Structure 1
Amino acid sequence: MASNENPRHSVDCIDEAEDAVNNLRTALARSGITLPSLRMDLASYARETPCPLVELGRCDVGTVRMLAAVLPKERGAAR
């Protein structure tokens, strides 16, 4: 890590990503949707300065249809 970087930066990025995954999992559950592979991408931790990626994973066609049904139909309609 470069000496001028904030040592908490990596920890904060990981915490933020984990919170985002948990929030998405909760929001999807409210709509009755489960993405079995939703998790942190462990390979993204391997960088010198981790910047985590989220693995949305694979799902079946029924889950894809449920996702499409609950997403806003118009551009800009998301909260």
Structure 2
Amino acid sequence: MPKRILQGTVVSDKNEKTVVVKVERRYTHPVMKKTVRSTKKYKAHDENNACKVGDSVFIQESKPISRDKRWVVVTDAQA
């Protein structure tokens, strides 16, 4: 089964080898029939500390790295 790949924006890079990525998803509300935007933050592993705040990155599912980290920053995405 392929691993999920999400696209988001880096909002924090203060941690060592970790970035916080904000992912926005849009969907139609089931009752109101209006497009709704919802965001969620993910902590992702950044091995080389290459990402800076404001960068657009792809993150991929992985095995748990720490208590909060279950995603890894990927450089090339097949999305």
Please give the range of the TM-score, normalised by the shorter of the 2 chains.
under 0.3
TM-score (norm 2): 0.28
TM-score by length of 1: 0.28
Question: Of the two, which has the highest radius of gyration?
Answer: 1
Greater RCO (Cα-Cα under 8 Å, separation 6 or more)? 2
Higher strand fraction (1 or 2): 2
